[in-house]
Every structure is written in structure tokens, then in C-alpha cells.
């Protein structure tokens, strides 16, 4: 182990080794909307490595100059800060573009030559980060080709690979993809990205749980009655029918984002906040979730039908452009899960996600058990609820019973609220900025490990298979703009109700 | 941006506080999606003739606004308090929430300064940190406020004599956490020097440094000394007072391997702060960073004499950005400032 750099102590932004960042899918939507603007913002803030080069790889045939133009346009359109022209020019001054299909050996030969030239210019071997933001079917192909051309290792510098989601569409695919990736790269080189983990409010869950002594005594089966995790969207699938109809709500949001939220909520405190310590604890939670073979009563799916959202009449899912008329893809998924371990045994965790619901909200509601005896004339007082909201209004609220002013002892719930916007000065950076920097730095804490991804799929796979087998029954429908199908109520144990959206 | 305004002549702190409470209450009643920011209080003490300039700097601090800013404007001959209280907000769209910020401007006279805590305290929001910034001196007023405050925002570059500026910072840090804008001007330089030596194969070179030159605008010697003090403290150099020598201010510090020449040189530059840094090692290697358009221009000479140049990207934050960063830093704690300040005091020109 080398001595720590004495100059790094106290710096808010830790140094990142000189890096060449290669984006596969460099002309794609993700690159244009998120990756290139995130890289620009890192440059603007002075957070990029002291030596940094950007290389785009994609199918479209164009010279470097045209790719520079595309990148400038994307950054101007989607950057969260107004670009400083001098920084923008210098960032893209030396940008390189390699055209070709991802199975073409010429692409990788050009990449080898380009990266070697950039190293020569720098006078030293620079770290390499390959960011795979292509369609998922190209993930294994690109990984294998990188290995074939010796791009998985680099003498004197680190090589890392960032793989976008979805990482497989089933457990079998995830296992296969892991195997193929790990035949070429070591696990420490692999960064499976779920941008949700880069969000400040998601990371704040760890701070909230492990930096506040008041919650720990309550954070278990003795005091928590049940938990509801909701990721509701008011929008439909838009122009994403091609992707969405193959994926569905379960793969799109539950398998990754929502189960990640659940693990952060349920995990034991790590000894230290290091990548493997945190991920070890998350994996333990996932292993404690057992999906029964018969999913009746623990999983519900549905599709939105025609309805009204924000006063405007909207199509049903089957009427959306590009959706097959006999599609059984779910746009609503709700689950009841149990985390079968000492802390959480018997506590139901309800997960619910959908398109075209009444409003957009992502939240975790922890509903505590009611008081054992109500001394105030038998009136019903709702149990305390702790609600962590990720969007649209990032914050935490705690509902408490309080006396209504007057001559009678009437109790009603009131909220104590903490809102991010009122309690901190700075804006949250885009999740991709944080994650790109972490990947270049080699910090995998906010990325998904191989065993974690397989454990995630292990929970979802039986449900997907059961729905796949069940071709005979029709998929329940819910009105667009509503709070979901009534069938979802069947998941709830006696005394529980879905939180109002 | 919308504003609700209250104003009163010959007023008092209770009336101001009541007016703010009423403004917030009325606005929240009109739109429940608006909530008051509750991050920190900022008390600013300024001379009346420079009020506009300070107000502009606060405006240019960008998104880093204090929750409640109390601007105390000192006017010679004034005996009564006049005040304007403003609640500003952007009406939120859809289901989003909006944040309200409060500004109070109090016109007061020099005779009020010693009793400033009795004027300011009733107006501050409780349970959140209070930051004081007094860019035009008024040290008596600041000292009077010390029991009330958590963070002192100052700019050691504002004083002509860095020895005096650092002594002031040292005095203040006994009472409050000090955020020094002169220190914040060195942040990009510190980050880049740290990055340069971060690779394991480069780390040993830190012990080989035998010369450090810091170039700075004439009015920013404190920033230059703080950067030299930072390196000195991080690398455990023993420094001594610099002297005017060979057209520059220079002297020697001592590290494990011998002497280190520490030199400060003034440079023509419009922006306050540093203009460049050069670090040279005993084996002939050197790294030079120079302020340039779109970031820092880096040039490196290796032990065998090969030279390379490149650009380190980063937008200039400007003085507005530095002030905004100062406000943001009030919520953080930097453990390296005090050792750097102590070392900078050792290096101050005799």
C-alpha cells in the first residue's frame, strides 16, 4: 500500500488520474442528453483529470470535426450550466471520433492506435475508461472485442469499463453477461451503472439512516408496520415503445431502482463506507428476499387504458404508436416482498411503479406501528409515517399526532418537513457527473457488483416467468391519470392501504 | 423573481422581525408551495458609499444565497434606523416547491456599531449558522458580534499587509470558523498540484521539491502566501520569513532533503488571485501552471529535459463565484486552512 497523497487531504474534489474516456454509442441519445453535458459540467467545475481526452465510437460515419459539432450542440442544448465558450472549445479541441460497427475489428484497431497516440502526446500511459452506452445487445460484443485487442489492460495505468443498464433482461442473461464480461475484465474494473444511485437523495438515505441515532432503535420489525416504495410517473411511454414493450415496468424500474432503494432502506450499517463493505450489506438484503414460485397475491401487473391526464385525454398503452395490439407488457407493477432476516421478518414491503398515474412521485414511506393504547377517547389516530421523497420535492417528512386547538382533545396528524431546497444552498449535481467521476477514480460504491446484479434478477425472474407463462388471462387495465388498478389492493395485508399519490 | 417588500423609517429590530414574519406568513398563505430557506444567516456590514458594489457582489454570488441576509449600511452622522425587508421568490410551477429568501437592509450610524448585536440578534433566524462579512473593516462591530456568530467570512487579500491580515484571521478563528476568500482563490491551484503528484510513481517527487514560485496579482499576496503555506504545512517544511531579494520576495524553507527556495513574484493580471505556480525538483523536473483562457496552462519539464504543455480545464469563477463559494463553504469545514495560515504567517515578509 502506498502512502496517501498529503496534498489531497481536505480537498473537496479528490484527484483523478489522467484519463482517456471512450464512449461507445457516442452519438446516441444518452450520450447527447446526459454523458456529454455531464462531462462538460465536470470540465466547467475543474473536476476532470488534469489530462483528459474524449473519444466517441459509433456507427455513423463522420470526421472528428462533425463529431465535435454534434457534441457542442448537445452540450449547449442539455448542459445544466450555460457553457463557457473557452472551456467548451478546449474540452472538445482534441476530441476524436471512430466510426464503424461494433463488430468491426477496424474500429478497435483504430481505437488502439488513437489511445496510443494520446498516451504519446501525454508522455505517459493514461488511464482508460470505456463507457458502453449502446443498445444492450452490443454489450458482450464490445467487451469481447476490447479483450481481443488487448484493450482490457494497460501497462502503468488503470482500465475501467462502465456498462449502462439494463444489465441483462433476465437472471440467465445477467449471469451470461457477467460471465462474458468477467472473462475479459476483472470485477474491480467493471462499473455497472444505475444512475439512480448517483442521485443525492438516494445517497442521503445512507446519511439519514446511519448518521442519526434516533432512527436506529425504531428501524426494525418491532416498530415498523410496513413500507411502501412508490415510483409513479404521469407520463406515458412516449416514443420508447420499441424498448418499453420488451422491458415493461418490472424490468424498467423495479429490478434496478426500486430494489436498490429497498436495499438501502434495509441494509445493516457498513463498518466503513467503502465500495465492498456497502455492497456486501446490500447483497445480504437481496439474499433475504425470497420470491415464491406462486406469485398470486404478491405481484400484480396492469396496463394503462385511455384516460385523462392534467385535463388532456391520452391514449391507452395499446393505442400508443409502436405498441403491438396484443401486447401484454405491464405498465404497472406492484409487489409485496418480505426481507426474511432478523431485523425485518414479517414486515411487508410494498413496491409500486407505473406509467400514466395521477402524478409523478418517487418516495419511500415507512409506516410505524400504531401506539398500543389510545388514551384519547378511542379516536383513530393514524400511525406515524416517515416519508423520504426522491422526486419531485426532495426531502423527508415525519407525520406526528398533534392536538387540534380547541377545548377537546382531538388528535390529527401534522407533518414535520425537511426539504432539500430549503436546507442546502447548492444544487444537486446531475447523477451522471458524480458517477462518471467515481468510475474514472475507481470508486465503485455507487455501482452494482456482479453478485448484486444477479441477486436483483433472482428476485424478479420468477415473477417475469410467471407472467410469461400466464398468456391466458387478460392483463388488468387502469385508467390513465388514475392511481392504478384496483387489483393492486389484493396485495395489501389487512389494515393496509396504498398511500394516496 | 417576485418580491414582497416592507419598509419603515426610524424603526427598531422588533418591528423588522415582525415585518419579516408577516411577509413570510402572507406569502405562504397565498401559496403553500413556497417555503422559507433555512440554511444560514448572513450579516454584512458595509459603508453606505460602497453599498451598491457589495450588493452587486452578493447578487453575482449566483445560486449560493444565504437564507436571510442582513445588510447593515453604515452612514456617517445617522442616528436613527431605517429598514427595508424583502422576501424574494420564484413562483413554483406545477407540483414543485419554491424557496423564499429574505433580505433586510438596515441604514444605521457609526454610533450603532458597538451595539450592533442588539440590533442584529433579534432579526436572525435561530438554530441555523450565522455568517458575518465586513468587507470595509469595522472591526469593532465585528468583534462585538463575535459571541453571536458561527462563521467569519473575510478576505485576507483586502488588507495591504498580509501579516496584519493573517493576525486578524488568527484572532477571529479563536471565536468562529473562518472562511477566507484569499484561501478560496487558491483552491483550483491546490487541486491541480495535488492531482499532479497523486500518481504513486510521482508521489516521491514531493520530497524532492527544491523551489516553489508563486506568481500573483500585486494585491493578492495573501493568496500567494496561503498557497505557499499550504504546501509548507502539507509537506512539513520549516519556513522562515521571506525577504525582498533579486526583484522578488523570496526565502528558504527546509524539508527532509535540504532547502526549498520559496519565492513570490507579482504579475500583471486583472483578476484578483494567483497568476501562476512553478514547482521544481532537485532532479531537474518542474511543473508550471499558468492562468489561461478556459483553465490553467500546464507545462512540464522532465528530468531529461523534455517539455510538454497541456490545458487543465476549468471555468473562472470570477469574484462573484468566489463570494458564492465562501457562503457555501460556511457549511463545510476545511481542516487544512489553519495549518496553511500558520505556515503562511511564518513566511510573511519580514
Average pLDDT value for chain B: 92
Percentage of residues in chain B having pLDDT higher than 70:
99
Instruction: Please calculate the CA angle B339-B345-B348 and round it to the nearest 5 degrees.
Output: 140
Q: Least CA distance to A51: which residue of chain B?
A: B312
Sign of CA dihedral B217, B223, B229, B234: negative
Dihedrals φ, ψ of B329, to 5°?
-65, -20
Residues of A in Cβ contact (< 8 Å) with B310 = 50-51, 122
Residues of B in Cβ contact (< 8 Å) with A123 = 300, 302, 306, 308
Instruction: Please calculate the CA angle A377-A379-A381 and round it to the nearest 5 degrees.
Output: 130
Average pLDDT value for chain A: 93
ipTM of the complex: 0.89
Sign of CA dihedral B318, B52, B118, B85: negative
Partner A, chain B 66-95, Cβ-Cβ below 8 Å: 66-67, 94-95
Mutation site for B-interface testing, chosen from A425, A428, A440, A501 by largest number of B Cβ within 10 Å: A425
Partner B, chain A 141-170, Cβ-Cβ below 8 Å: none
The grid cell for B318 is: 470570477
Predicted pLDDT at B339: 97
Rg of chain A, C-alpha, whole Å? 24
**Helices and strands in chain A, H and E counts:** 14, 17
Dihedrals φ, ψ of A186, to 5°?
-80, 155
Instruction: Kindly list the distances between the CA atom of residue A435 and the CA atoms of A231, A251, A279, A441, A447, in Å, as whole numbers in the listed order.
Output: 22, 22, 16, 10, 8
The grid cell for A173 is: 442473461
Partner A, chain B 8-37, Cβ-Cβ below 8 Å: 35-37
Give CA–CA dist A138/A102, Å, rounded: 7
Q: Where are the alpha helices (DSSP H) in chain B?
A: 13-30, 51-59, 116-120, 139-145, 162-173, 181-184, 187-196, 221-234, 318-329, 337-347
Mean pLDDT check: name the lowest of A292-306, A475-489, B261-275. Answer: A292-306
In this predicted model, what pLDDT tens digit does every residue of B231-240 receive, in sequence order?
999 999 997 8
Highest mean pLDDT among A198-202, A204-208, A436-440: A436-440
Among candidate residues A141, A131, A108, the one with its CA nearest the CA of residue A36:
A131
Q: Is the Cβ of B64 closer than 8 Å to some Cβ of chain A?
A: yes
Residue A161, helix vs strand vs coil? strand
Rg of chain B, C-alpha, whole Å? 23
Give CA–CA dist B280/B287, Å, rounded: 6
Cβ distance of A421 and B37 shorter than 8 Å? yes
Mutation site for A-interface testing, chosen from B100, B230, B315 by largest number of A Cβ within 10 Å: B315
In this predicted model, what pLDDT tens digit does every residue of A235-285 receive, in sequence order?
999 888 988 999 999 999 999 999 999 999 999 999 998 999 999 999 999
Predicted pLDDT at B336: 95
Dihedrals φ, ψ of B85, to 5°?
-115, 135
In this predicted model, what pLDDT tens digit does every residue of B88-135 receive, in sequence order?
998 888 777 888 999 999 999 999 998 999 999 999 998 899 999 999
Beta bridge partners of A403: A411
End-to-end C-alpha distance for chain B, whole angstroms? 51
Predicted pLDDT at A2: 58
**Average pLDDT, integer, range A113-129:** 95
**Average pLDDT, integer, range A162-190:** 96
Residues of A in Cβ contact (< 8 Å) with B312 = 46, 50-51
Calculate how close chain B gets to A45, using CA atoms only, in Å.
Answer: 6
Cβ distance of B40 and A425 shorter than 8 Å? yes
Give CA–CA dist A359/A480, Å, rounded: 10
Which residues of A are catalytically annotated?
257
DSSP state of B178: E
Q: Is the Cβ of A478 closer than 8 Å to some Cβ of chain B?
A: no
* DSSP structure string for B197-217: T-STTTGGGGGGEEEEEEEE-
Mutation site for B-interface testing, chosen from A8, A46, A359, A414 by largest number of B Cβ within 10 Å: A46
Mean pLDDT check: name the lowest of A110-124, A345-359, A381-395, B8-22. Answer: A381-395
In this predicted model, what pLDDT tens digit does every residue of B40-74 receive, in sequence order?
999 999 999 999 999 888 887 767 788 999 999 99
Q: Is the Cβ of A2 closer than 8 Å to some Cβ of chain B?
A: yes
Confidence class for position A426, pLDDT limits 50, 70, 90? low
Instruction: Kindly list the distances between the CA atom of residue A280 and the CA atoms of A187, A367, A455, in Å, as whole numbers in the listed order.
Output: 14, 27, 12
Cβ distance of B294 and A6 shorter than 8 Å? no
Strand residues in A133-199 grouped as ranges (E): 159-163, 190-192
Calculate how close chain A gets to B346, using CA atoms only, in Å.
Answer: 19
Give CA–CA dist B35/A322, Å, rounded: 43
Amino acid at each position: 500500500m502506498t502512502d496517501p497523497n498529503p496534498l489531497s487531504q481536505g480537498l473537496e474534489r479528490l484527484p483523478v488520474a489522467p484519463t482517456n474516456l471512450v464512449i461507445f454509442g457516442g452519438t446516441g441519445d444518452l450520450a447527447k442528453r446526459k454523458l456529454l453535458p455531464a462531462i462538460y459540467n465536470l470540465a466547467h467545475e475543474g473536476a476532470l483529470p488534469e489530462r483528459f481526452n474524449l473519444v466517441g465510437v459509433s456507427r455513423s460515419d463522420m470526421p472528428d470535426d462533425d463529431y465535435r459539432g454534434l457534441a457542442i450542440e448537445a452540450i449547449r442544448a442539455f448542459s445544466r450550466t450555460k457553457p463557457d465558450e473557452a472551456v467548451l472549445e478546449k474540452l472538445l479541441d482534441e476530441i476524436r471520433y471512430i466510426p464503424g460497427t461494433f463488430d468491426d475489428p477496424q474500429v478497435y484497431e483504430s481505437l488502439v492506435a488513437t489511445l496510443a497516440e494520446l498516451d504519446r502526446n501525454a508522455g505517459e500511459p493514461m488511464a482508460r475508461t470505456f463507457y458502453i452506452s449502446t443498445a444492450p445487445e452490443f454489450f458482450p460484443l464490445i467487451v469481447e472485442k476490447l479483450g481481443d485487442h488487448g484493450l482490457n489492460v494497460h501497462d502503468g495505468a488503470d482500465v475501467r469499463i462502465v456498462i449502462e443498464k439494463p444489465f441483462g433482461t433476465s437472471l440467465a442473461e445477467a449471469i451470461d453477461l457477467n460471465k462474458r464480461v468477467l472473462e475479459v475484465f476483472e470485477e474491480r474494473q467493471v462499473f455497472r451503472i444505475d444512475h439512480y444511485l448517483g442521485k443525492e437523495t438516494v445517497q442521503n438515505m445512507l446519511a439519514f439512516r446511519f448518521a442519526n441515532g434516533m432512527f436506529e432503535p425504531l428501524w426494525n420489525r418491532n416498530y415498523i408496520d410496513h413500507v411502501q416504495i412508490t415510483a409513479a410517473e404521469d407520463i406515458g411511454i412516449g416514443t420508447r415503445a420499441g424498448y418499453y414493450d420488451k422491458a415493461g415496468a418490472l424490468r424498467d424500474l423495479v429490478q434496478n431502482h426500486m430494489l436498490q432503494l429497498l436495499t438501502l432502506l434495509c441494509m445493516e450499517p457498513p463498518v466503513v463506507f467503502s465500495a465492498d463493505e456497502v455492497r456486501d450489506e446490500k447483497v445480504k438484503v437481496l439474499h433475504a428476499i425470497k420470491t415464491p414460485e406462486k406469485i398470486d397475491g404478491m405481484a400484480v401487473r396492469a396496463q394503462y387504458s385511455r384516460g385523462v391526464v392534467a385535463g388532456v385525454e391520452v391514449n391507452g398503452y395499446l393505442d400508443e404508436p409502436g405498441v403491438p395490439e396484443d401486447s401484454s407488457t405491464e405498465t404497472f407493477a406492484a409487489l409485496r416482498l418480505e426481507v426474511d432476516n432478523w431485523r425485518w421478518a414479517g414486515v411487508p414491503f410494498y413496491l409500486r411503479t407505473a406509467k400514466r398515474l395521477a402524478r409523478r412521485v418517487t418516495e419511500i414511506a415507512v409506516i410505524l406501528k400504531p401506539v398500543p393504547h389510545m388514551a384519547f377517547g378511542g379516536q383513530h389516530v393514524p400511525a406515524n409515517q416517515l416519508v423520504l421523497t426522491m422526486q419531485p420535492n426532495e426531502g423527508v417528512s415525519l407525520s406526528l399526532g398533534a392536538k387540534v386547538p380547541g377545548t377537546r382533545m382531538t388528535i390529527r396528524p401534522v407533518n414535520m418537513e425537511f426539504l432539500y431546497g430549503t436546507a442546502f444552498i447548492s444544487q444537486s449535481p446531475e447523477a451522471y457527473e458524480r458517477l462518471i467521476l467515481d468510475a474514472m477514480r475507481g470508486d465503485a460504491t455507487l455501482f452494482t457488483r456482479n453478485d448484486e446484479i444477479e441477486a436483483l434478477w433472482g428476485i424478479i425472474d420468477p415473477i417475469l416467468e410467471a407472467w410469461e407463462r400466464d398468456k391466458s388471462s387478460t392483463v388488468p387495465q387502469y385508467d390513465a391519470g388514475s392511481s392504478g388498478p384496483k387489483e393492486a389492493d389484493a396485495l395489501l395485508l389487512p389494515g393496509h392501504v396504498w398511500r394516496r399519490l | 423573481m417576485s418580491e414582497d417588500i416592507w419598509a419603515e423609517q426610524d424603526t427598531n429590530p422588533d418591528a423588522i422581525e415582525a415585518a419579516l414574519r408577516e411577509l413570510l406568513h402572507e406569502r405562504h398563505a397565498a401559496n403553500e408551495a413556497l417555503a422559507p430557506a433555512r440554511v444560514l444567516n448572513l450579516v454584512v456590514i458595509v459603508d453606505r458609499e460602497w453599498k451598491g458594489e457589495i450588493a452587486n457582489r452578493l447578487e453575482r454570488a449566483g445560486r449560493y444565497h444565504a437564507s436571510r441576509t442582513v445588510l447593515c449600511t453604515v452612514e456617517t452622522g445617522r442616528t436613527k434606523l431605517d429598514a427595508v425587508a424583502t422576501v424574494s421568490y420564484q413562483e413554483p410551477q406545477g407540483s414543485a416547491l419554491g424557496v423564499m429568501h429574505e433580505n433586510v437592509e438596515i441604514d444605521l450610524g457609526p454610533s450603532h456599531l458597538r451595539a450592533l448585536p442588539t440590533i442584529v440578534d433579534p432579526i436572525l433566524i435561530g438554530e441555523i449558522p450565522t455568517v458575518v462579512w465586513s468587507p470595509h473593516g469595522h472591526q469593532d462591530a465585528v468583534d462585538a458580534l463575535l459571541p453571536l456568530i458561527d462563521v467569519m467570512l473575510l478576505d485576507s487579500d483586502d488588507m495591504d499587509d498580509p501579516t496584519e491580515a493573517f493576525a486578524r484571521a488568527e484572532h477571529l478563528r479563536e471565536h468562529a470558523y473562518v472562511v477566507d476568500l484569499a484561501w478560496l482563490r487558491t483552491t483550483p491551484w491546490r487541486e491541480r498540484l495535488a492531482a499532479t503528484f497523486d500518481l504513486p510513481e510521482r508521489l516521491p517527487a514531493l520530497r524532492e521539491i527544491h523551489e516553489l514560485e508563486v506568481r500573483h496579482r500585486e494585491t493578492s499576496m495573501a493568496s500567494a502566501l496561503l498557497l505557499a503555506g499550504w504546501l509548507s504545512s502539507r509537506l512539513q517544511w520549516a519556513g522562515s520569513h521571506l525577504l525582498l531579494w533579486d526583484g522578488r520576495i523570496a526565502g528558504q524553507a527546509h524539508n527532509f532533503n535540504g532547502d526549498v527556495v520559496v519565492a513570490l513574484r507579482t504579475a500583471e493580471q486583472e483578476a484578483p488571485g494567483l497568476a501562476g505556480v512553478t514547482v521544481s525538483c532537485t532532479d531537474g523536473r518542474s511543473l508550471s501552471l499558468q492562468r489561461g483562457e478556459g483553465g490553467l496552462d500546464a507545462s512540464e519539464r522532465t528530468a531529461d529535459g523534455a517539455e510538454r504543455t497541456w490545458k487543465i480545464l476549468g471555468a473562472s469563477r470570477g469574484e462573484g463565484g468566489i463570494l458564492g463559494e465562501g457562503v457555501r463553504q460556511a457549511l463545510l469545514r476545511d481542516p487544512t486552512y489553519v495549518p496553511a495560515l500558520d505556515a503562511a504567517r511564518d513566511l510573511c515578509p519580514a
